Amino acid sequence: MNLEQYKAFFYTVRYGNISRASEQLFITQPAVSRSIRQLEASLKCTLFFRTSKGVKLTAEGEILFKYVEQAFNFIEAGENKIRDVNNLLTGEVRIGVSDTICKYYLIPYLKLFKTLHPNIKVHVICPATPGIIALLKSGRIDFGIINLPYEDEQLHFQNIIAVQDCFVAGEKYAALSKQVQPLHKIVRHPLLLLEKTSNSRLFIDDYFRSHSLTVEPDFELDNIDLLVQFAKYDFGIACVIKNFIQDELQKGNLYEIKPAEKIPSRHMGVTWLKNVPLPAAAKVLISNLDYLETSEF
């Protein structure tokens, strides 16, 4: 099937003569006539007959036009739909993000995005980092927001905000917050850490190893909210992201215990597949996320 031949046929019917059709297609009249003749030859029938006012469809041409018109209407509808998606008048964005990052970071940006683009559907899935990576590679989400660093040759990473890990505890350990503590003394106390599968846990384990320490936590929990609650009830010293617990520190519900061996700052970032173009809605949402080169903590 030659689409150009069908376009010549369709526009000739729509505008009633070959001259108008050629103007709309930006080709010469002989080119339109040649395409129609070629189409008639391939279908083994006559599609038009000439009149004093132009051309009219034969019975065979009427049959063909019913189907060709429907096809071109669908094509036009598809083009309009793509324009709507690119202009954020419709569409969707699918995000993978942990519960913690969603709660403490993403929600305000989603509120702004939905205010500006109310017709875009937003789907949020909240697994841990390995689950987010799996969803990306299976095509079930457009992008993920994870704690960095993370390495994968199939993925592109973009920093969006600097974060700082810290140690915190409840009233029982408040005295430790009055001065800087050697790390080897901090780890003698019961420790509360995220589960081993989380990227934040891998990061803090590397930090311990860099100071020749092997740590076995007393509690392993699956999110920062639980770490905070366990710390407040004096189960031990928790390692959390300081950005997300500023209110607890200011209210005196938690006490920061500062190690002499400073925990390096790192970033939270956006990730997506290198060889898969981002939808327009995802690009706009990502462009609205903060980017900070250095930590404020």
Across the range 113-126, mean pLDDT stands at 94
Residue type at position 91: G
User: Does pLDDT of 290 surpass 80?
Assistant: no
Q: Which two structure tokens, joined as six digits, stand for 211?
A: 């100071």
Cα gap 113→242, rounded to integer Å: 26
Report yes or no on whether pTM surpasses 0.85: no
Beta strands, E only, 152-195 = 155-163, 165-169, 191-194
Residue 193, SS3 per DSSP: strand
User: Does pLDDT of 291 surpass 60?
Assistant: no
Across the range 164-174, mean pLDDT stands at 97
Domains, the chain, with CATH or none: 3-72 (1.10.10.10), 92-161+270-287 (3.40.190.10), 165-264 (3.40.190.10)
In the chain, the percentage of residues whose pLDDT exceeds 70 is 97
Output the CA torsion sign for 62, 68, 71, 76: negative
Q: Among the residues of 105-240, which ranges form H helices?
A: 107-116, 129-137, 183-186, 199-210, 224-232
Asked if 266 contacts 163 with a C-beta cutoff of 8 angstroms, the reply is yes
What's the mean per-residue pLDDT of the chain?
A: 91
Q: Which two structure tokens, joined as six digits, stand for 84?
A: 């709507």
Q: Which residues, in sequence order, are CB contacts of 14 under 8 Å at separation 6+? A: 21
Across the range 98-106, mean pLDDT stands at 92
Residue type at position 294: T
User: Does pLDDT of 83 surpass 90?
Assistant: no
From 25-29, 70-74, 122-126, 186-190, the region with the lowest mean pLDDT: 70-74
